[in-house]
């Protein structure tokens, strides 16, 4: 069961959930739900708690992402998903930036209304098979040729879990471009404070009345705690036993899975 008592479960009005590694393990076949997670989401919604998915998913548009979740049995609407690509589009418009995209093919439609002629920045997402040497080198050449290079990354995760094992995430490629160009990327997704604040605004509750549940000790747990939220670490997805000895981030509790967390939270309502 969860450690460190149950005080963390009190006075909650809303939950932010990471998706991959909390609701399901992704994979080439569409992925598989984690045991108990479909029922846990149903119970959250039936309880009256507000629910928002806070994901760094950048391999699909929100619409296709939600279709996949619904096919796995999750009753989720597009409005309940906070994702990096729409936030990046807002930032691009706000600052008059024209991106060169190094993203997954399935994410490109999210940027359909954005001017991409004569790029003055690079937007990096989880491009998967598009992370070739040629594509990374093209992004490098664009950045190194800019007077004031701007690299926008849709997250900074190191790796994630699919059904066939761990996979390198966008953060590894972000670091390569940072190193090569001697710049620092602007991160739009988790653990960005602005991104969590956007998710809280969509959830409609203040940080002290929300709990974030994730499998990434730094991006999910650490990012949420920096915004004043409580945060739980699940022992599913990318969780590694070494996470329980992280030198900087200490979750409010560890739980075996989402279902266990929901059990405890609903007992306190």
Quick one: pLDDT band at residue 36, thresholds 50, 70, 90? very high
- Residue-level pLDDT at 7: 86
The pLDDT mean for the chain works out to: 95
Give the separation between CA 242 and CA 229, rounded to whole angstroms.
23
pLDDT tens, position by position, 148-200: 999 999 999 999 988 899 999 999 999 999 999 999 999 999 999 999 999 99
pLDDT tens, position by position, 74-91: 999 999 999 999 999 999
- Residue-level pLDDT at 269: 87
- Residue-level pLDDT at 238: 94
Read out DSSP for 181-246? HT--PEE-STT-HHHHHHHHHHHTS-GGGEEEEES-IIIIIIHHHHTT-EEEEESSTT--GGGGG-
- Residue-level pLDDT at 30: 80
Residue 3 has pLDDT above 70, yes or no: no
Query: What are the structure tokens assigned to 151, written together?
Result: 């690299």
Residue 1 has pLDDT above 90, yes or no: no
pLDDT tens, position by position, 90-148: 999 999 999 999 999 999 999 999 999 999 999 999 999 999 999 999 999 999 999 99
Query: What are the structure tokens assigned to 31, written together?
Result: 């992925």
Class of domain 85-187 (CATH, top level):
alpha beta
Tell me the domain boundaries of the chain: 85-187
- Residue-level pLDDT at 23: 98
Name the strand (E) or helix (H) holding 267.
helix 258-268
Residue 239 has pLDDT above 90, yes or no: yes
Quick one: pLDDT band at residue 66, thresholds 50, 70, 90? very high
């Amino acid at each position: 069961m969860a450690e460190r008592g149950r005080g963390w479960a009190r006075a909650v009005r809303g939950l932010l959930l990471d998706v991959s590694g909390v609701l399901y393990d992704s994979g080439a076949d569409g992925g598989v739900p984690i045991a108990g997670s479909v029922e846990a989401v149903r119970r959250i919604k039936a309880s009256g708690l507000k629910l928002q998915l806070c994901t760094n998913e950048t391999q699909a548009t929100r619409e296709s992402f939600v279709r996949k979740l619904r096919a796995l049995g999750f009753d989720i609407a597009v409005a309940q998903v906070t994702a990096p690509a729409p936030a990046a589009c807002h930032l691009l418009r706000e600052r008059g930036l024209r991106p060169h995209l190094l993203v997954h093919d399935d994410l490109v439609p999210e940027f359909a209304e954005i001017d991409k002629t004569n790029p003055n920045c690079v937007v990096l997402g989880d491009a998967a098979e598009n992370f070739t040497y040629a594509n990374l080198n093209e992004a490098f050449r664009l950045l190194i040729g800019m007077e004031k290079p701007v690299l926008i990354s849709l997250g900074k995760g190191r790796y994630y879990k699919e059904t066939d094992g761990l996979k390198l995430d966008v953060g590894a490629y972000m670091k390569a471009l940072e190193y090569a160009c001697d710049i620092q990327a602007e991160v739009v997704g988790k653990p960005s404070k602005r991104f969590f604040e956007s998710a809280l605004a969509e959830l409609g509750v203040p940080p002290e009345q929300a709990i974030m549940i994730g499998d990434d000790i730094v991006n999910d747990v650490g990012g949420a705690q920096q915004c004043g939220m409580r945060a739980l670490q699940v022992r599913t997805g990318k969780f590694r036993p070494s996470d329980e000895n992280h030198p900087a981030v200490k979750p409010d509790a560890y739980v075996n899975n989402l279902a266990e967390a929901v059990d405890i939270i609903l007992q306190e309502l």
